[in-house]
Amino acid sequence: MNAEYDAIERLPTGIPGFDHIANGGLPRGRTTLLSGTAGSAKTVFAAQFLAAGALRGEGVVFVTFEESPDDLRRNMRGFGWDIPKWEAEGLWAFVDASPQPDQELLVMGSYDLGALLARIEHAVRRVKATRISMDSLGAIFARLGDTRLVRDELFRIVSTLKRLGVTGVITAERAHENGEIARFGVEEFVTDDVVILRNVMEEEKRRRTVEILKFRGTAHQKGSFPFTVIPGRGIVMIPLSAMELKQRSSNLRITSGNAELDRMCGGGFFRDSIILVSGATGTGKTLMATTFMAAGAQRGERALLFAFEESRDQLFRNAEGWGIDFEQMEKDGLLRVVANYPEVTSLEDQLIAMQAEIERFKPQRIAVDSLSALERVSTLRGFREFVIGLTSFIKHQEIVGLYTATTSTLLGGSSITEAHISTITDSIILLRYVELFGEMRRGLTVLKMRGSIHDKEIREFSIDSKGMHIGRPFRNISGILSGQFTHISPSELERLGAMFRDDETAPPAE
């Protein structure tokens, strides 16, 4: 919907990423149903929505039907929200409808929420609330006899909140990730807006997503978007639809750290490009990343290396073996190495942490060694979302990034990483083993260099204590990239060369 025709005013939630997919926030003055299974972060969402208001000096009310106010104050402190302080300042009020230890739960058909609504109205007026969260409906509606009463009482709650002029979030439980939106099957029809939080198990890995099912009469982003919950911050969403191709591009070239590779690339890498280096284990990917980092430091640029297969000490020892002093670069403030195993956290958390590290260190060069290690901890969809998110973030910072990826076979082949992100990267460099008369050698080619001419030959290279040395092209062997080698005799090579050689005596083509 064009913003010109969208008359529904929005209230920013303060939840990073959500306001983008909601086109500005929750519809102001209306009540949104927030539905999800256990562990989908409904209570955190409800509290974070209020915390954002309190931080802006707005009055807010939290109606709790399950956890006691003491538990909520304690549990939310880990996200950096000082609820007791806001209560003392008259910005935050609790309406405690949580069950008491000696209270017996009765199902009563004639039960109504009149007294509770009176307490809510009193709290709203006392703190001059603009936001309210009610967590969760299931606990209170379990006391009602049938779905007709549930529908009537929910309609009564929504009408009261609308009359009070507050923007509300009501959480509701659902038994399964798919199927009924909420437990009683009527909740989504009474509220104007519905947001679903999911905590799906995919390939033995949990993955949280958010989907805006409906915003009545106004537009929003469609589809599911990943999110994570981070201590000290709360919910952070990753709105892939926010990633736009609006970054600037420059013709400025930078060195890879190897003069011959620069020449093969037509003069070096572009300043704001993404380079993928793919090859089997031991072909020199980490060396290329190390050289790339060192080349930046030599020019006074800051370089940030994310390592997921080797420790910091291993990387420093390897660099020293190639004549590169990572220790000194780090002391000079030109290098930062972040090394950890991908298994320690989810890919969504990893992405948020990497973005934060980039914002803190403000590097001119970034290397990720290797992306293939990150594939282990995610589904293919989650991995692709991670790469898109990281690539988009790096490009908008207008810095250069180098990713490495490992192929599954020693000879030829391609990596899953390569197959899924090749269209996202600007340049692709392939490193391959070449079997030649009983000896294993190494070959390198620049497969892709977006926006530039480049060398298309497969060149032999060697590695010694001074780094990588790129030599002459392989002339008498074919099938290197596929791993299906065919040796060609000198006479055959001459015959093939003659077939495609320009005839200098022939007249020019018209």
Question: Which tokens hold the place of 459?
Answer: 């060149």
Mind listing the pLDDT tens digit for each residue in 183-193?
Answer: 777 777 888 89
At position 491, the amino acid (one-letter code) is S
What does pTM read for this prediction?
0.76
- The pLDDT, as a whole number, for residue 506 is 46
Please identify which residue in the block is written with the tokens 């009463």: 149
Q: Are 80 and 232 in contact (CB under 8 A)?
A: yes
What stretch of H or E contains 21? Answer: helix 18-21
Q: Are 252 and 270 in contact (CB under 8 A)?
A: yes
Q: Which of 58, 187, 309, 385 is catalytic?
A: 309
Active site residue 66: yes
Cis peptide before 40 (omega within 30 of 0): no
- The pLDDT, as a whole number, for residue 369 is 92
Least confident residue range of 256-260, 289-293, 357-361, 477-481: 477-481
Q: Are 35 and 181 in contact (CB under 8 A)?
A: yes
Mind listing the pLDDT tens digit for each residue in 415-465?
Answer: 555 556 777 889 999 998 887 777 788 999 998 898 888 998 899 999 998
Most confident segment among 47-61, 152-166, 474-488 = 47-61
- The pLDDT, as a whole number, for residue 202 is 76
The Cα–Cα gap between 111 and 143 comes to 7
Mind listing the pLDDT tens digit for each residue in 32-48?
Answer: 999 998 889 999 999 99
